[in-house]
Chains A and B, each alone.
Chain A
Amino acid sequence: GQNIDQPTEMTATEGAIVQINCTYQTSGFNGLFWYQQHAGEAPTFLSYNVLDGLEEKGRFSSFLSRSKGYSYLLLKELQMKDSASYLCAVLDSNYQLIWGAGTKLIIKP
């Protein structure tokens, strides 16, 4: 079966750095997405990785290792507005998006 694992909840301090991990087992791989979802709102796109390595975009970076079935989202200089759920999703061989359950990130002052 297809499976995506990410921690249910994480807590971090304002101004700090946090890394949210995602491991996946899917039938094929055509890319991995990270989305941010604030409570009561729809998800918004953060990043896309299809090749191994680190993609940096401002305070957010995303890393992928296809051989390990592993990705992480790195958030630097945390701000209170970063409190949200972070969803990892993998595009499988049928180009169907398989969603993780999301990681709720709580930022404390």
Chain B
Amino acid sequence: GAVVSQHPSRVICKSGTSVKIECRSLDFQATTMFWYRQFPKQSLMLMATSNEGSKATYEQGVEKDKFLINHASLTLSTLTVTSAHPEDSSFYICSAEGQGAINEQFFGPGTRLTVL
């Protein structure tokens, strides 16, 4: 149980294009999902907290107009990187909060974005 999928696993795009990343909780409903970014040899950086049916809460320094988050259902959240640039190249990971007592986060496998 508690499986989170993420699609695509890898994407290469040209500068200026937009990229959509999907995060799905496969066998449980996730009211809250999280989007992280991780640069090489660095720890996870929380970008935003996504709550089903409401606007996402963005961390300081994260542009909400550039990183569009939609959490339209209890099993799906999407992150769209708009007008991507090479500096947006990173490993993007989503997680979904479980429904147990310990607020454990279950992580998707991540998406490696490379912007040329």
Segment at the B interface, from A14-22, A36-44, A64-72: A36-44
A32 to B21 alpha-carbon distance, docked (Å): 29
Contact status B108-A50, CB under 8 Å:
no
Q: Is residue A29 contacting chain B, with contact meaning CB distance below 8 A?
A: no
Query: What's the interface size class on A, roughly?
Result: 20 to 34
Q: Is B44's CB within 8 Å of the partner chain A?
A: yes
Distance (whole angstroms) from the CB of B30 to the closest CB of chain A: 15
Complex Cα gap A43–B41 (Å):
14
Q: Give Cα A95 to B101, complex, Å.
A: 12
- Minimum C-beta distance from B60 to chain A (A): 12
Q: Which residue of B lies closest to A48 (CB)?
A: B102
**82-101 of chain A: CB within 8 A of chain B:** 87, 91, 95, 97, 99-101
A26 within 8 A of B: no
The yes or no answer to B54 lying at the interface (CB within 8 A) is no
- A87 and B110 contact, Cβ closer than 8 Å, known pairs A31-B102, A31-B103, A45-B104: no
